[in-house]
Amino acid sequence: MTQQLDSMAELLNAQQQDHIKHRLVSADQRRKRLQQVIDVVVAHHQEFVEAMELDFAGRSQGFSVMNDILGSLASLKYARDHLDSWMVSDNRQVFSPYDQLGSTARIEYQAKGSVGIIGTWNAPLYTLLSPLACVLAAGNRAILKPSEVTSKTADVLASVFAKELDPLIVGVVNGGVKVGVEFSHLPFDHLIFTGSSAVGKKIMQAAAQNLVPVTLELGGKSPVVISDSCDLEETCKRIAIAKSNNGGQLCISPDIIYVPKHNIEQAASLILETYKSLFPKITNNADVVPIVNQAHCQRVVDVIKQAQDSGCDVRASHSVADLQACVSQDKRLPLHLVIAPAKSTRIMQEEIFGPAAVLQPYDDISDVIDDINQRDKPLALYYFGENQAELDNVLVNTSSGGVSINDCLIHAAMHDAPFGGVGASGMGHYHGHEGFKALSHARTVFVAPEHDPRAEWGLLPPHHDQFKAMMVAQVCAD
């Protein structure tokens, strides 16, 4: 373990020293680095998806291609194809009268150095390579720390990257919790973490010891607001599709669904019927993504059972003889809807991260807004409806990392828009131009005029008797 930790620190130091020697990274060099990663993903995609299938004990290879392989490639290719325009210096207006004396000013986007990226298990490739796209586009180097929960995927990543990429540009460090702790304490030039809010706080504390800036992509209980003005059948179909994605193991998966009280029965039926049409059976169904391991599966089952034991109305998409038995079998669970649970229940307190959701009835949209605002700010918010005034009310009076209207999850797939959280759901961004900026140092460059007029203006010492009066004369509200 000591040797591994020493080599991790040595790799970071080697990257940072090489960055100092080669600070200027041209657009062509950045494109080449991005293309090298793209080529590795393309060449080894089958190895990656086979590893993910093993890590989840049954995750569909087709889903892993769609979610992790194509998702990563899309981020990498978008950065490759747009970095020229992102790298252009941004001219800024010089204050008067220096603007009339020939001064200029610009913002140059300078690479920071070496960036640490800590990925998570639910999208074990995407949560590393999507931020890596912005890291490399900004001219940085990176060290990746995959999740130990998906250890087989992590091993494949480390193996193929070591063979085909220069570790001074992109390195991979594997290991368990202790390695992750040491990794977060290293003096990176920037640190990116995707995971839970609880761990995100620890990452930020560790990074603060070296004043390392952080990008935290966390989670929370992302709400769905169903308006009376929506097409309820289509709305429920899209919510069910969203809950089916990755077995509900997404940081932006719908958690609490607010439904007009008179529609609660119909909404519950429609969501469950759609889910069952997507998955005619649950057990041994290759299209159902299993919960990643027994511990996480047990946690989801415990949350559902605690709601049942507390007297909640709990409904399932499929009848299962023994929900507990699913934990030790194939870890595939039906979708469970918990209707109007008390605030004290676990399902109202914790991010679910699995195939379950709360249906919360409401009479007035103001009650929905108040309830959302009593919780930590979520990573995503969803609204279904055609009432523009009501939508504006929800958007103006709530805060979330991002929003999708009349669908779920889709905003996070936008490459030309930032993805990130706010408050407890995270800070900073990646994706697109904003991701490039977040991982660059915005450096102001001011070019002074040839003639310095400050002595003529009476601004240099020794100051004359009227200096203060001259200054005070400019104190005005215009």
pLDDT at residue 37 in the model = 98
Which residues are registered as beta bridge partners of 215? 192
Q: pLDDT tens digits for 287-298? A: 999 999 999 999
Give the CATH number, domain containing residue 60.
3.40.605.10
* Contacting residues for 237 by C-beta, under 8 A, at least 6 apart: 270, 274
Residue 278: predicted pLDDT:
98
**Bridge partner list, 225:** 258, 383
The verdict on 214 and 268 lying in the same domain is no
Q: What is the pLDDT of residue 1?
A: 39
Nearest to 415 by CA among 137, 180, 97: 137
**Residue 308 and residue 273 share a domain:** yes
- Report yes or no on 466 lying in a domain: no
Tell me the per-residue pLDDT of 375-391, one tens digit each, with 9 for 90 and over. 999 999 999 999 999 99
Same domain, 179 and 284: no
Do both 331 and 207 map to the same domain? Answer: no
pLDDT in tens, 115-141: 999 999 999 999 999 999 999 999 999
pTM: predicted TM-score of the whole model, two decimal places: 0.95
Lowest mean pLDDT among 1-5, 298-302, 460-464: 1-5
Residue 257 shares a structural domain with residue 202: no
State mean pLDDT over 337-347. 96
Q: Is 205 exposed, middle or buried (0-12, 13-18, 19+ CB in 10 A)?
A: exposed
Residues with a known catalytic role: 217, 251
What pLDDT does 477 receive? 95
Q: Is residue 465 part of a domain?
A: no
* Cross-strand pairs, 172: 144
Query: Tell me, what CATH number does 408's domain have?
Result: 3.40.309.10
153 belongs to a structural domain: yes
Q: Are residues 106 and 63 in the same domain?
A: yes
Q: What does the pLDDT read at residue 371?
A: 97
Mark whether 381 and 437 lie in a shared domain. no
Res. 321 pLDDT band, cuts 50 70 90:
confident
H or E, element range at 393: helix 388-396
Q: How many helices (H) and strands (E) does the chain have?
A: 18, 16
Per-residue confidence (pLDDT) for residue 97, from 0 to 100: 87
Domain-embedded: residue 11: yes
Range of the domain at 87: 2-218+428-441
Q: Is residue 446 part of a domain?
A: no
323 lies in a domain? yes
Is 331 in the same domain as 406?
Answer: yes
Computed over every residue of the chain, the mean pLDDT equals: 96
If you average pLDDT over residues 63-74, what whole number do you get? 98
Q: Which residue has the tokens 């409806």?
A: 385
In this structure, the answer to whether residues 189 and 257 fall within a common structural domain is no
Q: Is 44 inside a domain boundary?
A: yes
Q: How far apart are CA 132 and CA 277, in angstroms?
A: 37
Question: Using CA atoms, how far apart are residues 179 and 387, in angstroms rounded to an integer?
Answer: 50
Judgement on whether residues 229 and 102 belong to the same structural domain of the protein? no
Calculate what percentage of the chain has a pLDDT beyond 90.
Answer: 96
Task: Identify the CA nearest to 278 among candidates 239, 249, 232.
Answer: 239
The number of distinct structural domains making up the chain is 2
Residues 30 and 55 in one domain: yes
What confidence score (pLDDT) does residue 222 get? 97
Position 339 pLDDT exceeds 60:
yes
pLDDT score of 4: 57
Mean pLDDT of 85-105: 94
Chain length of the chain: 478
Rounded average pLDDT over 311-330: 93
Task: Report which of 56, 294, 76 is spatially closest to residue 153, judged by C-alpha positions.
Answer: 56
The phi-psi region of residue 142 (left if phi > 0; otherwise alpha if psi is between -120 and 50; otherwise beta) is: beta
CA–CA distance, 44 with 160 (Å, rounded to integer): 8
Query: Are 262 and 382 in a shared domain?
Result: yes
The answer to whether position 304 is within a domain reads: yes
| Strands of 402-405's sheet in order across | 313-316, 336-339, 356-362, 254-260, 222-226, 380-384, 402-405
| Euclidean distance between CA atoms 36 and 393, whole angstroms | 47
169-209 per-position pLDDT tens digit: 999 999 999 999 999 999 999 999 999 999 999 999 999 99
- Specify the pLDDT at position 2: 44
